[in-house]
Amino acid sequence: MSAAMIRSERCGQVALVRLASDNPLNPLTDALMDQLIDVLLRNETDPQVHATVLTGSDKAFAAGADIVAMSKLDYASAFSDDYIGRSWDRIRTARKPLIAAVGGYALGGGCELAMMCDIVIAADDAVFGQPEIKLGIVPGAGGTQRLPRAVGKSTAMLACLTGEPLSASEALAYGLVSKVVARKRLIEEAIRVGEQIARHSLPVIVAIKEAVNRAFESSLSEGLLFERRLFHAGFSFADQKEGMAAFLERRQAAFQNR
Ligand code: DAK
């Protein structure tokens, strides 16, 4: 059994999950990723958790997949074992919101892990990049797919083809992150955003996440139809009645998450 590389705590209805490998650069080893998936899946089934903040160490969110392990790989074993794909793919099946709180390096798989999250909040010292080209490989966990969707083709090409990093302010200007805050306020701000989300009705939170993600998977008319169906279905929730009654009665809504 491998040592604990994930630290998890609860802040009300927000789970704070820290990547905490022995190496503060948090190389994303198989063992670390397996532990991360276990914690995220546990949060998925915990009705008290409405959102998760994922963060790293003082030095790095994560400096990428484990280069030591990758240096020994050959095609046959990478393919047969579905090298690290099996755990990484499960992150995008999370239905509850994931907020990446990125301080320091988010490189390679670290940048890709942040992009798998729904909201990315960066500290002013954050450094994002896809340096895989310098190792003689192609980004393998969405760098060539999610980065252009976030920042556009030209900036994504520049980042992936040169391997050169983006600063926090560049990431903000290009739309890779939602906001940049002072390093010492990073966790506080990410949890504040998590709490702002978490106080709402859980099925509505999940439906909105599904609908926004659908925008990246479908044509506009398919996406609009999907949204319309979810909108109509929303009238079956007790929380719709409560939300609207609370508005009309000028009081705080008390959502039941159903
Ligand atoms: N893996 C393993 N060890 C790493 C590492 C990594 N990604 N990054 C750093 N280290 C180790 C260093 O080897 C060094 O080890 P010791 O010499 O102390 O034993 C220690 O951490 C400290 O590193 P440095 O001495 O280099 O520290 P500095 O502060 O000088 O520099 C740095 C920090 C982050 C700029 C530098 O360490 C660096 O450039 N690291 C490599 C960044 C990188 O190239 N990342 C991309 C890796 S490729 C997939 C999923 C994911 C992926 C692929 C497929 N599927 C789902 C299929 C992802 C691929 C990648 O991420």
Tell me which residue has its CA closest to atom 4 in ligand 1.
27
Q: Which residue has the tokens 């159903």?
A: 258
Identify which of 119, 2, 6 has the alpha carbon closest to the alpha carbon of residue 56.
Answer: 6
User: Per-residue pLDDT averaged across 178-197, rounded?
Assistant: 98
φ, ψ for residue 2 (rounded to 5)? -85, 155
Distance, CA 66 to ligand 1 centroid (Å)? Answer: 7
Q: Where in the chain is the domain with CATH 1.10.12.10?
A: 202-248
CA distance 36 to 113: 11
Q: State which H helix or E strand residue 244 sits in.
A: helix 238-248
All CATH 3.90.226.10 domain ranges of the chain, comma separated, are 6-198
Q: For ligand 1, atom 53, which residue shows the shortest CA distance?
A: 140
**What pLDDT is attached to residue 1?**
62
For 50-99, what is each residue's pLDDT tens digit? 999 999 999 999 999 999 999 999 999 888 888 877 789 899 999 999 99
In the chain, % of residues over pLDDT 70: 100
The gap between the terminal CA atoms of the chain, to the nearest Å, is 39
**Of 134, 120, 123, nearest to 165 (Cα)?**
134
What CATH number should be reported for the domain whose range is 6-198? 3.90.226.10
Q: If you average pLDDT over residues 242-255, what whole number do you get?
A: 98
Active site residues: 65, 109, 112, 132
The fold of 202-248 is Lyase 2-enoyl-coa Hydratase; Chain  A, domain 2 (1.10.12)
Q: Is 175 near ligand 1, meaning CB less than 6 Å away?
A: no
Q: Determine contact, residues 100/150, Cβ cutoff 8 Å.
A: no
Give, for ligand 1, the residue of 67, 82, 84 to mutate: max count of ligand atoms closer than 8 Å to Cβ.
67
